[in-house]
Structure 1
């Protein structure tokens, strides 16, 4: 009971921007004089499902936000309707708070309960531009990771990336215009090349020198492997439809899923 009361006080301090109060409770937590979950969620009508970080971001208390982040608050934890702290800061136009959250690796592509990412909920053009830049940075990091895993033959990482709810562009390119399939081909990474082809990579894509994967194949064995897969029709050319969808269940309430419709099969992630 005392723990719940302390956490409600913690939430109230975050809502009101009471930095000394926040610091006092965090210090008590460090000294083990108080049991506080820094990511506790409100139970009352006014803060139901919101963490202290959600509240501080929504009301624009930058100093409290920074204190919570330094103490280890989960920057991407959603509330009961799927909003992250970044959604709340963007919605209320808190530019400095948005910048601070992004510095602490807030994800700009989290989808909430109404299928919106943070940039969709703001009316502030400057914040929207910041979030679009952050979104593209996140996407590019994943693309570079995909290119690297194809080059290095890291099939495990490559498969994990392709199996994400929102995977990176399978035909993304490096500075030379090479796709992940190009990279796998010229480095002789046959297993990665096969995985990419079966996941829908375009074998006819050309790099900046006008070369396809067949031109860059490291040896005759790789070329035969590529040609065999393409000629057997194992590559996927049927259009894939995917997107966010919220589904309600009796026991777990509303949950966010990434739904993929491909080859007549509906998959939930």
Structure 2
């Protein structure tokens, strides 16, 4: 068996991930201090099972940031441990100090199998964290269409706005994730939504220079002369893009 000390030195960090501009920072590694969290982080399902049989409360053991073993299993991507914890009735919707659920953490860390297991066992898709984002928002930040598709199958709200008043579609356009934006449009995202300064999805697509998305939005009836709070239309934003070339 690996020594926990060596694992801690080489495999874990509590530093926020390096994120691109506009993307909320979040942890992709946790520092496991309790024995159950260490075993979970290492993926030792047999050892986790032993701990759980010795002390039932271990399944919901919290660390200093209110994270449960299920959070650790998701951040490190151990589906077999996720299954074990779920079978032992761990709370799939437990929130940590940032109101992050195991599902949100699994999505953030691109752990698709863990996402599926959680959803199959009652994980709620529309819980919002302290940054105002749902699991679907994080799949958009990651341009992770496969995970977004799974979330939508389990009733993720495709039009739910985050604290910046951005539903997933506007977020995808803002982040210049064109294929994700098109995927959301094809899955009936509301293309007529606006942000807090009344910028439309068409304006977002034009500002991000996403030609294919612009074409699809126009074909679906988006108006080019709708003005935002700055009294600018999509046509005027397109002209600005041309002037900056």
TM-score under structure 1 normalisation? Answer: 0.44
The structure whose Rg is larger is 1
TM-score under structure 2 normalisation? Answer: 0.48
Higher strand share: 1
